[in-house]
Amino acid sequence: MEEEKRLCLSDLTLEQLTDYLKSLGQPGFRAKQIFKWIHQKLVTDYTAMTDQPKALLEQLRQTTTIAAPTIRRRQQSKDGTIKYLLQLADGNCIETVLMRYHYGNTVCVSTQVGCAMGCRFCASTQAGRVRDLTPGEIAAEVYTAQKDTGERVSHIVLMGIGEPLHNFDNVMAFLEIISCPEGVNIGMRNISLSTCGLVPKIDELAKRHLQLTLSVSLHAPTNEVRSSMMPVNDAYPLEKLIPACRRYQKETGRRISFEYSMVRGVNDSPQMAQTLANLIRGMGAHVNLIPINPVDGSPYSATDDANVRRFQHQLEQLGVNATIRRRLGTDISAACGQLRREDAKESSERNLTE
């Protein structure tokens, strides 16, 4: 119990760490040094911080923690994608994926243990939401993948388990930490955040004027179909969502991208492409088409590749820019919508039987 209440230094932005160390009577430069140890040199052990006074390190060791998830399972796909099952300090397990692209390594991070949004095609939400991840826990997903591979991570997508805008404050702190020049310094332009469409939070995000890419999980151009796939559409239907996307673009000067997961017989007809084009034409937004990935217990099956290409072609003809997202890691269930949280108990049982 005591352990849990300790302050986790990994959760603090440089500014917050500076205030904290000042409150301990330490000079400001110590904060920068310690921040660098945690977020640039990626140490998880106080004794490694060799430029710090012993007494301070001892005090920190007794009263604080550093996020250090353990790798419970590591699976590598034939395409090079790696999926990690990471165990957090309280025993909860989440998944993180590292993908290799020609422009560099991308880490797909989870932002919550489970998800409360209930999308019918997504494995991450099937067992509900347990809790939010802290800023330091999200950052530690990136650091763990970086240390495990020994390779630099250049891009981040907030597209793992959880709804990032449903954990708004922690996600904002994470973005500040991960893009901080004293840390791993991953530029906002190399970060994408995906949301199922929480309208008030899209407006709140717009006010921050971040240079990240906002992806909105649209998946259908009518309320009837979208509500059948995503319960969130009942709270924020298209007539609220699309204007919020327009406001976001106007406020930030950044183009939105729409994710559209293609489900056979549900949202993949030529009529749907036409309705979609009518809905978003003129926004300059980009549509990312993703044949839906198989998820146990989901009633949906994927549109075949030829039809996806036809749909893309039709959108282009109608003046909407569309690309087909490459599927990585399907052989290890590491693709969109296939990540799951796990209880520590389940994962130790699995390890014993594997």
Pairing of strands 64-65, 82-87: unpaired
Interface size with ligand SAH, residues (CB under 6 A): 17
Out of 115, 196, 245, 336, which one is annotated catalytic? 336
Cα separations (Å) of 202 from 35, 166, 212, 318? Answer: 30, 11, 13, 27
Considering the rule CB under 6 A, would residue 34 count as an interface residue with ligand SAH? no
Beta strand segments in the chain, E: 7-8, 64-65, 70-76, 82-87, 93-101, 104-108, 112-114, 129-132, 153-158, 191-195, 213-217, 257-262, 286-291, 321-324
The reply on whether position 336 binds ligand SAH by CB under 6 A is yes
- Do the bridges between strand 191-195 and strand 7-8 make them parallel or antiparallel, or are there none, so unpaired? unpaired
As measured in angstroms, the least distance from the Cβ of 210 to ligand SAH is 17
Is 15 marked active-site? no
Contact range with ligand SAH by CB under 6 A, out of 116-124, 137-145, 237-245, 308-316:
116-124
Q: Which of 10, 87, 92, 261 binds ligand SAH (CB under 6 A)?
A: 261
82 contacts ligand SAH (rule: CB under 6 A): no
Q: Of 32-40, 75-83, 87-95, 114-122, which part binds ligand SAH (CB under 6 A)? A: 114-122
Interacting span for ligand SAH (CB under 6 A) from 26-34, 39-47, 70-78, 188-196: 188-196
Closest distance to ligand SAH from the beta carbon of 25 (Å): 43
The whole-angstrom separation of Cα 56 and Cα 111 is: 32
Q: Which long-range contacts (CB under 8 A, 24 or more apart) does 222-225 make?
A: 222/272, 222/275, 225/266, 225/267, 225/272
Is-catalytic flag, 4? no
Please report whether residue 276 would count as binding ligand SAH according to CB under 6 A.
no
Going by C-alpha positions, the residue among 244, 326, 228, 230 that lies closest to residue 285 is: 244
- Which of the residues are catalytic? 95, 336
Chain residues binding ligand SAH by CB under 6 A are: 119, 121-122, 159, 163, 194-196, 217, 259, 261, 290, 292-293, 295, 336-337
